[in-house]
Structure 1
Amino acid sequence: MSKLNYLITELCPDGVEYKALGEVCHYSKSRIDADAVDETSYVGVDNLLPDKRGKTLSSYVPEEGRLTQFAIGDVLIGNIRPYLRKIWRADCEGGTNGDVLVIRINEENLNSVSSEYLYYVLSSEQFFVYNIQNSRGAKMPRGNKDAIMQFFFPLPPLPLQRKIVKILDNFTLLTAELTAELTARKKQYEYYRNQLLTFGYDIEWSKLNEVGIMKRGTYITKENTVPGNIPVILGGQEPAYYCDTSNHDGEAIVISRSGAYAGFVSFWNQPIFVTDGFILETKDRLLIRYLYYYLKNMQGSLHEMKRGGGVPHVRGNEIMEIKVPLPPLEEQARIVAILDKFDTLTTDISSGLPAEIEARRKQYEYYRDKLLTFKEVGA
């Protein structure tokens, strides 16, 4: 940072000029034939990832017509629901549609504006807050193209832009490395979980209704509850909302009963209120945490047990027919100890890799805001 401070003092001691985006950039007017793009070079709002995470391969590629062309260095922004914060700096040539804005530096400004610096400006929270505030529409808001081009941002000398980009690139690289490590650890976790929970018939197997107890949740709606700090479990890992009373306390496995999350397995060890789901407890020969990992390992099979059309659901009596391997309690405890370590490493938002990634992202956001804040010339 000392070199950065030196450059600021040396190159812009009196402040930095601010420009409207439209003074140095324009929306791409270039066109490309649809048959010239594929899943790697076609970008729509569906394959732009939220929260500034770039893009993925497209599951849909138009087969005919003319598309808006983007080139290497252009900045693409999803223009539907700006609050999703979809943005990507192009590393290839390709095509997109009218739901994605392609922002390109004017040819006469290429020697004064770094496309990497522009990307960091447009991925800043300051820009997205501005974009959201100026968006139009209620159910499906869109960014205001005219207002976007009126966004003011600092434009320091090119050497200073490059230094800022280098600093922010280092933060981005570190976060990417941690994310790659987390992906690898998750695969390792799944591998070991599968290995540890694969048994032959040389050990005892019992139906879940012989070694477990299932209770049905209690139907409530948010409107007829009193707000509190008790998680209401409806589907998925995250609470649907919070109320002031519970219908279970202590360790429990919850299996969502209906809807998109039907069959989803989660583990809780606190007061909870289970509504549209089943609560599983275990008897003496079965450790509840061991059963959780076993059911989690067969998550796909539980989802396949869904029945019904409009609102699919799983049936409690079918779940209780599932056969569970029963190694000795000491072996169950050993398996749980190993998988608990992997689970903490890959999912714990307070101490595992997710916590470290989140800390780096916050650090990155902090420094980006600091690095993109300058005294304005004449202010």
Structure 2
Amino acid sequence: MHEGNIRPFEDLVMQVTDRALTAKDASKPYVGLEHIPSSGTSLRSLGNAGDSISTNGVFAAGDILFGKLRPRLRKSVRVDQAGYCSTDVLVLRARPGIDAAYAGYIAQSDEVFRRAIQTEEGTKMPRCSWGDVRTTRVFFPATQVHQQRIAAILTSLDNAIEATEALIEKHQQIKAGLMQDLFTRGVLPTGVARPEPASEPDLYHSLGGRIVPKSWREAELQDIAQVGRGKFTHRPRNDPRFLGGAFPFIQTGDIAAAAGDYLDTYSQTLSASGAAVSSCFPTGTIAVTIAANIADTAILSIPMYFPDSVVGVVVTGAADVRFVELSIRRSKPRLEAMAPQSAQKNINLQDLRPLKLMLPPLEEQQAISARYEAAHRPIKALRNGLAKLRAQKLGLMQDLLTGKVPVTVPEPALPA
């Protein structure tokens, strides 16, 4: 462990309690909890100070904004400009002699968030307070130079993470534009998209209220696939006799996380008894969520089981699996609109089976799918790289912000 000691968090930072009651500088931004990303390092968006009519906190460049409402969301960032914020945000400022960047990383550490979560109060709107968080015991490097060195290492990773996130966003925008073209104009046998309807109207016709290529037809999902609901009939659902075996069992959260991709990972399994009261769906099945999260999708890379909150779509030979998955995903707004406005949204087989899709000839479906996969491949690679960078940062934070691993600071050069 390198030089330093363990001291209260308040020895590094102080709370800033300045308030703006009515008049605010409209040229400055407003930051609400919605602008602070969970486990993020910088603000992703900003509000307008003029739009906030309530009392706000006041922050300066270099301050730390720490979300005290629902601390489990781990919202803490250091800002590079002055502005106003929600009173559900603690404004913290590095004390004199403390490196502001280092203090910002300590505010994102497991130690601080663990204390915030342990001391939160309230059921529906749990909050922590500075009075509790300030006593958190954190690592205090012996010199500001050591603090700056630790912050520099973590900042270099943050820069790499943000650059990767920006590349992913750029590729996603390109892919979104490509998908819009492919699902309205399709692909010619030459591999290029058809001309726009305005320039070549004879290539298109009106079908189901849409202008689509003449070779396309309208079909219901049940015409091109077997659509069946998952099941797990045993109660209670968490009976250990029915869990922990060799049969992969996925839930809506697993499918939402896959975001339409191929799914071969799972966090839960069924025993032989559990499998007997559930349903197995084969490789290539499109899993579609129908409760809470509506129309999230994934394609099974291996046979899997799931409960009745998920529907399995097993495509026949008349259609391409990826094309059908993309069509269902693009139908998400329509399917969400069908869900009753209750405490938990849900749809059923009667909503999904007659879902109308525009269906090109099979060869064109496959060409569209191939274009999608080519556009998605670099995004997948970047996401894998991003996951590795985040894991690396997490490991370094645990090592450097606890003093477990020392950092070296160059000795000052001796005069000649």
TM-score normalised to the size of structure 2? Answer: 0.73
> Is 2:160 the partner of 1:127?
no
Q: In structure 2, what is the equivalent of residue 370 of structure 1?
A: 399
Is residue 162 of structure 1 aligned with residue 181 of structure 2?
no
| CA separation of 1:363 and 1:257: change in aligned 2, threshold 3 A | closer
Are residues 249 and 278 of structure 1, via their aligned partners in 2, closer, same or farther at CA, if it must alter by over 3 Å?
closer
2:227 matches 1:214: yes
CA distance in 1, matches of 2:344, 2:107: 41
Consecutive unaligned residues in structure 1, runs of 5 or more: 9-14
Q: State the alpha-carbon separation in 1 of the partners of residues 71 and 166 from structure 2.
A: 27
| Corresponding residue of 1:261 | 293
Give the direction of change, closer, same or farther, for the CA distance of 1:308–1:167 in structure 2 (3 Å limit): closer
Match runs of 1:326-341 below 5 Å = 326-341=359-374
1:313-352 matches, within 5 Å, as 313-314=346-347, 316-346=349-379, 348=380, 352=381
Structure 2 SS opposite 1:361: helix
Distance 2:115 2:121 in 1: 12
User: Residue 359 of structure 1: CA displacement?
Assistant: 0.6
Instruction: Note closer, same or farther for the CA distance 1:272–1:191 as it changes in structure 2 (3 Å cut).
Output: farther
Which deviates the most, 333-342 or 129-138? Answer: 129-138
- Report the CA distance between 1:290 and its aligned residue: 2.0
1:344 shift after superposition:
4.5
Task: For 1:93 and 1:160, locate their aligned partners in 2 and report how far apart those are by CA, in whole Å.
Answer: 27
Structure 2 equivalent of residue 359 of structure 1: 388
Return closer, same or farther for 1:24/1:294 CA change in 2, 3 Å cut-off: closer
1:47 matched to 2:40? The reply is no
Q: Secondary structure at the match of 1:335?
A: helix
| Equivalent AA in structure 2 for residue 364 of structure 1 | K
Residue 174 of structure 1: how far off its partner (Å) = 0.5
CA deviation string 1:43-89 (max 9, x = no partner)? 33343221134433349977445432211111121112322211011
User: Which residue, 157, 163, 170 being the options, matches 1:171?
Assistant: 157
Taking a change above 3 Å as real, the CA distance of residues 196 and 86 of structure 1, as seen in their structure-2 partners, is same
Please give the residue correspondences for 1:71-150 in structure 2 after superposition, counting only pairs within 5 Å: 71-106=60-95, 109=96, 112-136=97-121, 140-150=125-135
Change (3 A) 1:314 1:57: same
Equivalent of 1:32, from 6, 20, 23? 20
Deviating 4+ runs (over 6 angstroms): 59-62
Equivalent position SS for 2:228: strand
From 171, 180, 183, the equivalent of 1:197 is 183
Stretch of structure 1 that moved more, 335-344 or 168-177: 335-344
Matched with 1:227 is 243
Distance (whole Å) between structure 1 residues aligned to residue 120 and residue 175 of structure 2: 43
C-alpha deviation, 1:354, in angstroms: 1.6
Q: Please give the secondary structure, in 1, of the residue aligned with 2:236.
A: helix
Does residue 280 of the first structure (1) align with residue 313 of the second (2)? yes
Which residue of structure 1 aligns with residue 200 of structure 2? none
2:347 match: secondary structure: coil
The answer to whether the Cα contact below 8 Å between 1:248 and 1:274 also exists between their aligned partners in 2 is no
Number of matched pairs: 354
2:51 and 2:170 map into 1 onto residues whose CA distance is 34
**1:165-186 deviation per Cα after TM superposition (whole angstroms, max 9, x unaligned):** 2222211100100011111112
Distance verdict in 2 for CA 1:129–1:193, change over 3 Å: same
CA RMSD of aligned residues (A): 3.3
Partner AA of 1:271 in structure 2: M
- Within 5 Å, give how 1:241-256 maps onto structure 2: 242-243=269-270, 244-245=274-275, 246-250=278-282, 251-256=284-289
Q: Would you say the 8 A contact 1:113–1:155 is kept in 2? A: no
User: Compared with structure 1, are the counterparts of its residues 75 and 307 closer, same or farther at alpha carbon in structure 2 (3 Å cutoff)?
Assistant: closer
1:239-292 per-position Cα deviation (integer Å, ceiling 9, x unaligned): 89654324132122233334x323434332422224134332223321222211
Structure in which a larger fraction of residues adopt strand: 2
- C-alpha spacing 1:361/1:34, structure 2 compared with 1 (3 Å): farther
Q: 1:121 to 1:297 in 2, by over 3 A?
A: same
Tell me the residue number matched to 2:256: 237
Tell me by how many angstroms 1:140 deviates. Answer: 4.5
**For the residues of structure 2 that align with 1:92 and 1:204, how far apart are their CA atoms?**
53
Deviation at 1:332, TM superposition (A): 2.5
Contact 1:234 1:240 in 2 (8 A): no
Partner Cα distance (1:149, 1:311) in 2 = 38
Identity of aligned residues (%): 20
- Residue in 2 aligned with 1:12? none
Partner of 2:208: none
Change (3 A) 1:161 1:297: same
Quick one: distance in 2 between partners of 1:255 and 1:369? Answer: 38
Is contact 1:79-1:99 (8 Å) kept? yes
Q: Secondary structure at the match of 2:149?
A: helix
TM-score of the pair, normalised by structure 1:
0.79
Query: Structure 2: which 5+ runs fail to align?
Result: 187-211, 258-265, 405-416
